[in-house]
Structure 1
């Protein structure tokens, strides 16, 4: 068990050293909440639009703490054509909420704690799997590209793929 933890820690630290930050200001303590930090970053415009369409702004501006596995605009662009536009329609709000809450874990789980997990239960009730492959940390099929983007009510870990609940 100790050997596995040391291996996972080494892999995760290697990922941290190789990961390029989305914006250089993200690694210090941010005064804003999760939504403010994401909105000010410039790489999460689609995510912020989806949060607004799902009426989750108030929740993610709340006390928390929250851990958000945040897909970038490029991650949303990987979805089949028309998917994002369809999800943003009012009649698909429940599906959008299910997808977005699948990216949020209650509590503040910093990078150093992620390596100790095999899975995490999301706000929507389903688990995401946390694994290491080579020198990468994965959440389901998404690669973590940047970690510990701090907000006053939690932390954001940047991922390169939108997570889809079952």
Structure 2
């Protein structure tokens, strides 16, 4: 009888141990599943943010393919796809084509990465400036609103009729051909000339 009782007791212990291990295993699996789902959600959120970011909007616009290639070559695509607030004056493919022959190829050369970064950062301003705000700033500054780019150089915005015009520090002007392209991390204005800082 005692033997049967001990055996039954041992069996009970084994069963309890087995059930405990089973429960722990299920808990681990559930946690792994939850972690996996969270990771998937994070990745989807990141992909969505990337798609709606300045870099994402540029990649989706065929007219900005040269700019996208330049951003990648300069390692600046990440900056414009991560959360933040920027206003970007994005030169169209046509704007790059107006540059002297060989300029774009020269800029895309890995040896000129720093120069390319400076050129591109001259088109980026910290903070989100909508067209209404830009127009108000121009009016408030008596027709010429000057602001600093992330490169530390200045640009001047003005109006030509109902069109925005951006003047670089060389005095060259570029017209905004499409404005107020809203992105998750800022706003984009497509311009028809590449802006350059005075050397």
TM normalised by structure 1 equals 0.79
Q: Write the deviation string for residues 64-109 of structure 1: whole angstroms up to 9, x where unpaired.
A: 1110000100010000000000000011111100000000000100
Question: Counterpart of 1:112?
Answer: 132
Question: Counterpart of 1:95?
Answer: 115
Give the Cα–Cα distance (whole angstroms) in 1 for the partners of residues 129 and 72 of structure 2. Answer: 24
Give the Cα–Cα distance (whole angstroms) in 1 for the partners of residues 90 and 58 of structure 2. Answer: 8
Segments of 4+ moved more than 6 angstroms: none
Q: Write the deviation string for residues 5-41 of structure 1: whole angstroms up to 9, x where unpaired.
A: xxxxxxxxxxxxxxxxxxxxxxxxx951111100101
Q: Work out which structure has the larger RCO, using CA pairs closer than 8 Å and 6 or more positions apart in sequence.
A: 1
Gaps in structure 1 of 5+ consecutive residues: 1-29
Pair 1:42–1:161, CA change in 2 (3 A): same
Alignment length, in residue pairs?
137
Question: Counterpart of 2:62?
Answer: 42
Aligned-pair CA distance for 1:133: 2.5
Q: CA RMSD in A?
A: 1.3
Q: Does 1:164 pair with 2:181?
A: no
Deviates more, 1:36-45 or 1:130-139: 130-139
Higher Cα Rg, which structure? 2
Question: Counterpart of 1:133?
Answer: 160
Q: Write the deviation string for residues 28-66 of structure 1: whole angstroms up to 9, x where unpaired.
A: xx9511111001011100000000000001111121111
SS at match of 1:43: helix
TM normalised by structure 2 equals 0.66
Aligned-pair CA distance for 1:134: 3.4
1:12-161 to 2 correspondence within 5 Å?
Answer: 32-115=52-135, 116-117=137-138, 118-140=145-167, 141-161=173-193
More helix by share: 2
